[in-house]
Amino acid sequence: MTRMIQRMQFALREMERYRVPLLVWLTLSVVAGIAGPFGTSGAVAAPVLFAYWTGVVGVSILLSLIAFRYAEGFGRTGAVLIWVLFVLGLSGVLHAINSAAFPSWGGVVDWATLTGNVAVVTAAVKLVIWGIGTPAATGLAEPARPDPFMARVPIGVRGPLVRIEAQDHYLNVVTTRGEALILMRLSDAIAELSGRGLQVHRSHWVALDAVKAHRRDKGRDLLVMSDTREVPVSRSFRAAAQDAALF
């Protein structure tokens, strides 16, 4: 049951990651399939036309995502080269698709015309992005990227950490938005979360700002957390907890 939950959480994270490209792909495919731009309307049967535009839009989006990813790591000259290769590669793929879909398509002239159209559209899109400017220039805050540890947590639970509890091979991660199990060792989690909290027990880690109180019960030290749960402090970690001013 636990493994099934983990797989569902992973699937949801992947769906969220690719949601926007998928929505753009589906929307543009349907619109182009209905409108039939660039003289494709009536050239082939409606099912073939929809399949054609689904493939064309999908290839265009896929190659553009690859180009954007690699262009970010190069200087201006390298980025220009990557986009030139993008235009040539995309036009080559589209030329092959057109040759298979439309009997009248073919020849150097058609390929050169297609390459020019792809270059113009690509340049126009880049100019629009350049005109909008960076998020700082437009006053829009760039969305925060999750840290490596939080990226493992389901999206609906991501938030300020409260505590982590080791449970066999899993960790029960508690945030201000809920809790979830992830497959990870506590030692690895502590290494990634260095400076953000403290291990207070062989099975417990706490976020420093989530500790609300300390109390002793029958000689045991307990930390009262912001989620009202009490976390035990073992003797081997008591000095570190005191040094962190947790009690």
Residue-wise pLDDT tens digits, 114-154: 788 778 877 766 665 555 444 443 344 444 555 788 888 99
pLDDT of 90 reads 83
Which range among 7-21, 134-148, 225-239 has the greatest average pLDDT? 225-239
Neighbours of 130 (CB within 10 A): 9
Strand segments, DSSP code E, in the chain are 161-167, 170-175, 178-183, 197-201, 204-207, 211-217, 220-225, 230-233
Q: Give which of 180, 220, 226, 174 is closest to 201, Cα–Cα.
A: 220
pLDDT of 24 reads 74
Domain locations in the chain as residue ranges: 2-138, 150-243
Here the tokens at position 189 are: 């989690």
DSSP 156: G
Whether 64 shows a pLDDT value over 70: the answer reads yes
CA 36 from chain centre, in angstroms, equals 33
Put simply, whether the predicted model's pTM sits higher than 0.75 gets the answer no
Mean pLDDT calculated for residue range 72-77: 67
Mean pLDDT calculated for residue range 48-72: 76
Question: Lowest-confidence range among 60-64, 81-85, 204-208?
Answer: 60-64
Q: Give which of 141, 172, 142 is closest to 157, Cα–Cα.
A: 172
Q: Which residue has the higher pLDDT, 137 or 42?
A: 42
pLDDT of 86 reads 85
Mean pLDDT calculated for residue range 201-223: 94
Q: What is the pLDDT of residues 148-190, one digit of tens each?
A: 888 889 988 989 999 999 998 899 999 999 999 999 999 999 9
- Cβ contacts of residue 170 below 8 Å, gap of 6+? 2, 181, 182, 183, 184
Q: Does domain 150-243 have CATH number 2.40.50.1020?
A: yes
